[in-house]
Homo-oligomer: A and B are copies of this chain.
Amino acid sequence: MFPRRFFKKLKRGPQVVLGKDAGAVLAYSGLSSGDVVLEAGAGSGFAAIIWGNAVRPKGKVYSFERREDFADLAQKNVEKAGLEKVVKIVRKEAFQGQRSKADLVFLDCGDSNLLIAEAFEHLKPGGLLVGYLPHVEQLRGFVECAVNAGFELELCLENNEREWLVRERGSRPVNTGLTHTAFLAFLRKP
C-alpha cells in the first residue's frame, strides 16, 4: 500500500497525473499483479509508480521519457517508492526496443497521436489504450486516430473530484480547487 501522503514527499517537475485520474485508469483497466504497462512520457514518474504498485511484484512498467531531466526525476521518485525492479524509466523515443507485449498503454505527451499506431502493435489482443488529453480537440483527434488504427472506443470521460471539509462548524465542499486536469479516452484493441 502506498498511502496518499507518500506522493507528497516526491519531487515534482512536469505536471503529474493525479489520483482521481489514475484511479479511473486502475478501475476501468482492471490492472493487476503480473500485467505489463507501457507509458509515454514519464514526467515526474507519479503515474509510473501507481501502475508499478498495481502490477508488482511480477508485472513491469516501461515508462519512456526522452527528456533527461524528467527521466532523472522520475528515476529518483521510482527509487523512493522502492519500485526500481518493477518500473523501468527508458530514456528513448517511445517505444524503441520494446519487446514484451503490453496489457495497458498509457499516453500522456504532447504528440500522443503519433504513438497510437505503435501502441496498437505493442498491445496484446484485448489490451487497453488510454489517452490523457488536456484539450477537447486533442481528445477528439486521439479518438479518431485510434479508431482509424483499429481500436474500439470504450469510453471518454472527465473525472471531477471535490474534497469535502467535515468540521465542528459544519460540512461543505472546499471553496477552491482543481476544476480540470485532462480528459481520458479508453480504447480497446480487439
Contact = CB atoms under 8 A, between A and B. Distances in A.
Contacts of A175: 178-181
A135 B171 contact: yes
Interface residues of A, number: 70
Given A22-B27, A166-B143, A104 B158 contact: no
Contacts of A56: 32-33
Contacts of A117: none
Interface string A20-41: 1011111111111101000000
Copies in the complex: 4
A173 B162 contact: no
Given A157-B161, A162-B157, A162-B160, A33 B30 contact: no
B31 A33 contact: no
Contact of A30 (B1, B24, B103): B1
Nearest to A103: B1
A52 to B, nearest CB: 9
B20 A159 contact: yes
Interface string A158-190: 111111111001111111111111010110100
A171 B29 contact: no
Contacts of A157: 161-164
A50 interface: yes
